[in-house]
Amino acid sequence: MNPFIKRTVSGSLFVILIVGAIILGRYSFFLVFLALMELCLYEFYRLTFKARAKPQYLYGLILGALLFLANYLFAVGIIGYYIFLGFIPLTISIFIIELYRNRQRAMHNIAFTVLGLLYVAIPFSILNYFALSHSPLTIGYNTHILLGYFILLWANDSGAYVIGLSIGKNKLFPRISPKKSWEGLVGGIFATIIAAWILSLFFREISLLNWVAIGLITAVMGIFGDLVESMFKRSVRAKDSGKILPGHGGMLDRLDSVLLSAPVVFVYLEIMMLV
């Protein structure tokens, strides 16, 4: 199959999966995004193997799932904030477990285990609050903010890809990602602003100004998210994080822009509610 067609088909199916999971309800959201988080976390830990580290990846996957579940239950109001106190001994256990593993590079193993949770599990867990918060913006389960967020991400990716491929000449960060250009960055931001304007016409819980602000945060932090993941891959001489999506690489490759943008968008939404 033609590589472009392969990339288009797999990308389209991925978009359908995300949109379907969000629209069908909070249970489909929970199951699909939990699975996506676990795949990304697994791919991250596999990358660390190439750095000769042996993180506690099974324990990390369990902790990541528990963190996502805890945030989901807290967001829907089933359990109070005290649920997060349990993660204090669970996190300390990472250090204790390493004592009994008898592995070399113990500090690297602990560091990469914790980094996986910080880099992947926490940003995915934050997505719960985009759709399940009991704030005035999102009462009950509201798809608009979460769906709008992903639309902005895809608009940025598409704009950057098309413009960068067409007229991109000035390299954005050649040491990390030689294919990215300043023209692509501008094209992605422009496409994101257009998408934000369209979203403001349909999803009126948020004003145009706030949609544009969220779009700019998503575009800028999304680029940094992509560059950071590229930095990780280059440091271990890996081309892709996996092969689950033909033409795109791994799930981490496809969702790297979420990992840095989602926490900052969440902060903005929280501040916006206080104003």
Give pLDDT tens digits for 152-191: 999 999 999 899 888 988 898 888 888 889 999 999 999 9
Quick check: helix, strand or coil at residue 178?
strand
pLDDT for res 168: 82
Give tens-digit pLDDT for 199-232: 999 999 899 999 999 999 999 999 999 999 999 9
Quick check: helix, strand or coil at residue 180?
strand
> Domain span at residue 249?
3-274
pLDDT for res 155: 96
Q: Which residues contact 123 (CB under 8 A, 6 or more apart)?
A: 258, 259, 260, 262, 263
Number of structural domains found in the chain: 1
Q: Which amino acid does the sequence have at 150?
A: F
| Model confidence at 1: pLDDT above 90 | no
Q: What percent of the chain has pLDDT over 70?
A: 94
| Model confidence at 24: pLDDT above 80 | yes
Give tens-digit pLDDT for 112-127: 999 999 999 999 999 9
pLDDT for res 123: 97
